[in-house]
Chain A
Amino acid sequence: MQTFIVVLALLGFAAVGYTMGRARSIMTAGGTPKGLHSLPSYYGAYTAMWIGLPSLLLLAAWLIVQPQIVDGLVMGGLPSAMTEGLSSSEYGLLLNDIRNVATGNISSRGDDPAITAAAARLSGLHDTGFILMIVAAFGIGAGGLAVARSRISPTLRARNTVEKVINVILIVSSLIAILTTVGIVLSLLFESFLFFTHVPFYEFVFGLNWSPQTALRADQVGSSGAFGAIPLFVGTLLITFIAMMVAAPIGLLSAIYMAEYADPRFRAFAKPMLEVLAGIPTVVYGFFAALTVAPAFRNAGESIGLDVSSESALAAGVVMGIMIIPFVSSLSDDVINAVPQSLRDGSYGLGATKSETIRSVVVPAALPGIVGALLLAISRAIGETMIVVMAAGLAANLTVNPLEAVTTVTVQIVTLLVGDQEFDSAKTLSAFALGLVLFFITLALNVIALSVVRKYREKYD
Chain B
Amino acid sequence: MTDATSFPPGTGSGGRPTDPARRPLVVSPHLARRYARERRFRLLGLASVATAGLILLILLGSIVSKGYSAFWQYNVDLTIEFSAEELNPDGGPVDMETLRRANYLALVRDSLKREFPDAAGDRSERRKLYGLVSPNADIVLRSMVLEDPGLIGTTQTVTIKLSDDMDTFAKGYIDRNLPEGDRRVTDLEIGWFDHLNSEGRIHAAFNVDFFTQGDSREPEEAGIYGALIGSILTLMVTLLVSFPIGVMAAVYLEEFAPKNRLTDLIEVNINNLAAVPSIVFGLLGLAVFLNFFGLPRSAPLVGGLVLALMTLPTIIIASRSALKAVPPSIREAALGLGASPLQVVTHHVLPLAMPGILTGTIIGMAQALGETAPLLMIGMVAFIVDIPQSFTDPATVLPVQVYIWADSPERAFVEKTSAAIMVLLGFLVLMNAIAVLLRKRFERRW
Chain A residues with a Cβ under 8 A of chain B = 1, 4, 64, 67, 159, 163, 166-167, 169-171, 173-178, 180-181, 183-184, 187-188, 190-191, 249-251, 253-254, 256-258, 260-262, 270, 273-274, 276-277, 279-288, 290-292, 322, 325-326, 329, 344, 348, 350-360, 376, 379-380, 382-386, 389-390, 410, 413-414, 417-418, 423, 431-432, 435, 438-439, 442-443, 446-447, 450
- CA distance in complex: A418, B286 (Å): 11
Closest to A349 in B: B7
The reply to whether B249 and A178 contact each other, CB–CB distance below 8 Å, is no
**In this complex, which of A281, A286, A446 has the most chain B Cβ atoms within 10 angstroms of its Cβ?**
A281
List 10 contacting pairs A-B, 8 Å CB cutoff, sorted by A.
A250-B51, A253-B48, A279-B428, A287-B406, A348-B12, A354-B14, A355-B38, A386-B399, A423-B291, A435-B279
Confirm or deny: B45 has a beta carbon within 8 angstroms of a beta carbon on chain A: yes
**In this complex, which of B59, B248, B370, B391 has the most chain A Cβ atoms within 10 angstroms of its Cβ?**
B59
Per-residue CB contact flags for chain B residues 211-234 toward chain A (1 = under 8 Å, else 0) read 000000000000000000000000
- CA distance in complex: A410, B151 (Å): 57
Confirm or deny: B287 has a beta carbon within 8 angstroms of a beta carbon on chain A: yes
Smallest distance from the beta carbon of B50 to chain A beta carbons, Å? 9
Closest to B253 in A: A174
Partner pick for A281 among B44, B312, B399, CB 8 A cutoff: B399
The reply to whether A169 and B248 contact each other, CB–CB distance below 8 Å, is yes
- CA distance in complex: A175, B381 (Å): 31
Q: Which 8 pairs from chain A and chain B are nearest by CB?
A: A383-B277, A257-B45, A281-B370, A354-B14, A187-B287, A355-B41, A1-B390, A385-B373
Residues of B within 8 A of A67 (CB): 294
Partner pick for B1 among A170, A260, A280, A356, CB 8 A cutoff: A356
The reply to whether B417 and A273 contact each other, CB–CB distance below 8 Å, is no
- Given the known interface contacts A167-B256, A384-B277, the answer about A279 and B432 at a Cβ–Cβ threshold of 8 Å is yes
Confirm or deny: B414 has a beta carbon within 8 angstroms of a beta carbon on chain A: yes
The reply to whether B373 and A174 contact each other, CB–CB distance below 8 Å, is no
The reply to whether B34 and A270 contact each other, CB–CB distance below 8 Å, is no
The reply to whether A283 and B402 contact each other, CB–CB distance below 8 Å, is yes
Confirm or deny: B283 has a beta carbon within 8 angstroms of a beta carbon on chain A: yes
Residues of B within 8 A of A344 (CB): 13
The reply to whether A174 and B252 contact each other, CB–CB distance below 8 Å, is yes
Confirm or deny: B280 has a beta carbon within 8 angstroms of a beta carbon on chain A: yes
Confirm or deny: B326 has a beta carbon within 8 angstroms of a beta carbon on chain A: no
The reply to whether B424 and A410 contact each other, CB–CB distance below 8 Å, is no
The reply to whether A188 and B283 contact each other, CB–CB distance below 8 Å, is yes
Confirm or deny: B313 has a beta carbon within 8 angstroms of a beta carbon on chain A: yes
Confirm or deny: B273 has a beta carbon within 8 angstroms of a beta carbon on chain A: yes
Residues of A within 8 A of B313 (CB): 177
Residues of B within 8 A of A379 (CB): 275
The number of chain B residues with a CB under 8 A from chain A is 100
Per-residue CB contact flags for chain B residues 372-402 toward chain A (1 = under 8 Å, else 0) read 1100110001000000011110000001101
Is chain B's interface secondary structure helix, strand, loop, or mixed overall?
helix
Residues of A within 8 A of B252 (CB): 167, 170-171, 173-174
- CA distance in complex: A173, B273 (Å): 15
- Given the known interface contacts A163-B340, A250-B51, the answer about A273 and B56 at a Cβ–Cβ threshold of 8 Å is yes
The reply to whether B399 and A283 contact each other, CB–CB distance below 8 Å, is yes
Residues of A within 8 A of B257 (CB): 174
Confirm or deny: B25 has a beta carbon within 8 angstroms of a beta carbon on chain A: no
The reply to whether B370 and A283 contact each other, CB–CB distance below 8 Å, is yes
**Extra inter-chain contacts (18) besides given A262-B49, A443-B272, CB under 8 Å:** A67-B294, A167-B252, A167-B256, A177-B273, A183-B284, A187-B288, A254-B45, A281-B428, A283-B400, A284-B370, A326-B52, A354-B38, A355-B14, A383-B278, A385-B277, A417-B283, A439-B276, A442-B276
Smallest distance from the beta carbon of B383 to chain A beta carbons, Å? 11
- CA distance in complex: A325, B294 (Å): 40
Residues of B280-323 at the interface with A, using a CB-CB cut-off of 8 Å, are 280-284, 286-288, 291-294, 309, 312-313, 316
Per-residue CB contact flags for chain B residues 105-127 toward chain A (1 = under 8 Å, else 0) read 00000000000000000000000
The reply to whether B1 and A352 contact each other, CB–CB distance below 8 Å, is yes
- Given the known interface contacts A174-B249, A383-B277, the answer about A290 and B406 at a Cβ–Cβ threshold of 8 Å is yes
The reply to whether B270 and A351 contact each other, CB–CB distance below 8 Å, is no
Closest to B275 in A: A446
- Given the known interface contacts A173-B248, A443-B272, the answer about A187 and B283 at a Cβ–Cβ threshold of 8 Å is yes
Confirm or deny: B271 has a beta carbon within 8 angstroms of a beta carbon on chain A: yes
The reply to whether B266 and A261 contact each other, CB–CB distance below 8 Å, is no
Smallest distance from the beta carbon of B430 to chain A beta carbons, Å? 12
Closest to B389 in A: A1
Residues of B within 8 A of A279 (CB): 366, 370, 428, 432
